[in-house]
């Protein structure tokens, strides 16, 4: 093993037994484990965040299978590379089995033409496709490819899984075993926690700490918490403001406000801001929640939310985070009513799908001379001329009489 290669590459698992984490898909009783072991693999799309083991799992499959294994990266490869891989798979001299496992990293970066070029060969079984992607494949990958593949969702690695990988790296002959390293379990645990589920980040941080720390008088490289912290990138919540995590996070933010949990609302707000989300976008979502979820239970919420959006626009970050927090907490702690939301949805549905009749003549306008001769506005009662500024008269069309859209609930005073 070339020790100049990154530590994360050197200590990659070589078998399923060495693979750490993702028990929900590669546990011994799971379908994927049995399929790999039996060498009966079908096309796969491995979907998960960076550092969760997508490439390592593909490498394990390559060590296990009897088929030719070809790896392409969608960033640097094109249709010509795909055709070359297919030609080699079809060549009985180069590939007696007649089949090829084609691993495509970052498959979401292939355009439609490139993805379409794979279809006939995946269809006839010449190629067993393994695509790896950090993006939601249901958004980014050709639907025809999705329908011919098993989509496997990989999760961020647990802290205890990353800790196990780090411990192995210290004693692995291809890892750091040749160094005299002193590091506490507490420090390894800290590295595992700060890595945010990304084992590559954890291993890179450990390697940087070892390579940049001088030996002490006893010839020992001692890694302290401080050294480990300096060697790791600042932890970032897994968030891509244009990707799947954007939709998950904003959904959690809205539902936390709706569910009256201010702590969760502030947490998801912080996560979004930390990931670079547009603060004005977040302010707009708060305005919508003020109307949709708080509504008539506290009409003041819409005024506050609208003011907050204007303030965020004028002030900008970083101070805008304070305004957003105040507005989000206000919405989360307000009484809730979706009566107005339900009312407009029901009315829109009726208008779009029913014969709702015509507007009563007495509440129609008669702006031009002579229109009143045809009954426009005839018989209209001006409510302010009556006690309590109200008078009973018909407003809905005849065909809609008795229809109730706005139903006042217990949170509306």
Q: Where is average pLDDT lowest: 93-102, 155-164, 174-183, 230-239?
A: 230-239
Confidence of residue 413 (pLDDT cuts 50, 70, 90): confident
264 or 147, greater pLDDT: 264
In this predicted model, what pLDDT tens digit does every residue of 266-278 receive, in sequence order?
999 998 898 888 8
Q: How many beta carbons lie within 10 A of that of residue 31, not counting itself?
A: 12
Q: What's the confidence (pLDDT) of residue 78?
A: 79
Residue 95 has pLDDT above 80, yes or no: no
Q: State the average pLDDT over residues 352-380.
A: 82
268 or 124, greater pLDDT: 268
Instruction: Select, from the ranges 90-104, 236-250, 307-321, the one with the highest average predicted confidence (pLDDT).
Output: 307-321
Q: How far apart, in whole angstroms, are the C-alpha atoms of residue 210 and residue 238?
A: 26
Residue 399 has pLDDT above 70, yes or no: yes
Tell me which long-range contacts 253-261 makes (C-beta under 8 A, separation of at least 24).
253/282, 253/285, 253/328, 254/285, 254/288, 254/289, 256/332, 257/286, 257/289, 257/293, 257/328, 257/331, 257/332, 258/289, 258/293, 258/336, 259/332, 260/332, 260/333, 260/336, 261/332
Please tell me the pTM assigned to this model. 0.63
Q: What's the confidence (pLDDT) of residue 137?
A: 87
Instruction: Select, from the ranges 110-124, 230-244, 272-286, 325-339, the one with the highest average predicted confidence (pLDDT).
Output: 325-339
Residue 111 has pLDDT above 80, yes or no: yes
Q: Where is average pLDDT lowest: 103-107, 115-119, 171-175, 332-336?
A: 115-119
Q: What's the confidence (pLDDT) of residue 237?
A: 52
The DSSP result for 23-37, as a single string, is HHHHSTTSHHHHHHH
- Tell me the β-bridge partners of 183: 223
Structure tokens at 74: 């969608």
Residue 232 has pLDDT above 70, yes or no: yes
In this predicted model, what pLDDT tens digit does every residue of 205-226 receive, in sequence order?
898 888 888 888 888 888 888 8
In this predicted model, what pLDDT tens digit does every residue of 280-323 receive, in sequence order?
999 999 999 999 999 999 999 999 999 999 999 999 888 999 99
Q: Where is average pLDDT lowest: 171-185, 227-241, 258-272, 286-300?
A: 227-241
Instruction: Give the chain's mean pLDDT.
Output: 86
Confidence of residue 404 (pLDDT cuts 50, 70, 90): very high
Q: What's the confidence (pLDDT) of residue 344?
A: 94
Residue 328 has pLDDT above 90, yes or no: yes
**Count of residues in the chain:** 413
């Amino acid at each position: 093993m070339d020790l100049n290669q990154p530590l994360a590459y050197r200590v990659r698992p070589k078998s399923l037994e060495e693979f750490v984490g993702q028990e929900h898909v590669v546990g011994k009783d799971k379908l994927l484990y049995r399929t790999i072991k039996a060498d009966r693999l079908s096309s796969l799309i491995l979907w998960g965040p960076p550092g969760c083991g997508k490439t390592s799992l593909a490498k394990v499959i390559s060590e296990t299978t009897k088929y030719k294994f070809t790896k392409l990266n969608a960033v640097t490869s094109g249709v010509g590379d795909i055709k070359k891989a297919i030609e080699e798979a079809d060549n009985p001299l180069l590939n007696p089995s007649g089949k090829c496992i084609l691993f495509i990293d970052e498959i979401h970066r292939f355009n439609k033409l490139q993805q379409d070029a794979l279809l006939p060969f995946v269809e006839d079984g010449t190629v067993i496709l393994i695509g790896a992607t950090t993006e939601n494949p249901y958004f980014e990958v050709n639907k025809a490819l999705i329908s011919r593949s098993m989509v496997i969702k990989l999760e961020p690695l647990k802290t205890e899984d990353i800790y196990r990988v780090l411990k192995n790296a210290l004693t692995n002959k291809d890892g750091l075993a040749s160094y005299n390293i002193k590091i506490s379990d507490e420090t390894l645990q800290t590295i595992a926690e700060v890595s945010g589920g990304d084992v590559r980040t954890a291993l890179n941080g450990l390697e940087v700490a070892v390579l940049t720390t001088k030996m002490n008088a006893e010839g020992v490289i001692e890694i302290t918490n401080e050294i480990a912290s300096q060697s790791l990138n600042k932890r970032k919540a897994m968030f891509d403001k244009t990707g799947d995590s954007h939709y998950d996070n904003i959904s959690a933010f809205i539902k936390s406000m709706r569910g009256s949990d201010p702590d969760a609302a502030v947490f998801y707000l912080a996560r979004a801001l930390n990931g670079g989300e547009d603060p004005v976008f977040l302010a707009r979502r708060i305005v919508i929640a003020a109307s949709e979820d708080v509504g008539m239970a506290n009409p003041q919420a819409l005024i506050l939310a609208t003011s907050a959006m204007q303030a965020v626009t004028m002030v900008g970050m970083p101070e805008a985070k304070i305004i957003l927090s105040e507005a989000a907490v206000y919405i989360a702690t307000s009484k809730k009513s979706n009566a107005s939301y339900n009312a407009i949805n029901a009315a829109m549905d009726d208008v779009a799908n029913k014969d709702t009749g015509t507007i009563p003549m007495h509440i129609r306008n008669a702006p031009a001379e002579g229109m009143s001769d045809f009954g426009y506005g005839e018989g209209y009662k001006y409510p302010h001329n009556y006690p309590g500024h109200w008078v009973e008269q018909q407003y809905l069309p005849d065909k809609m009489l008795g229809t109730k859209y706005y139903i006042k609930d217990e949170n509306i005073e």
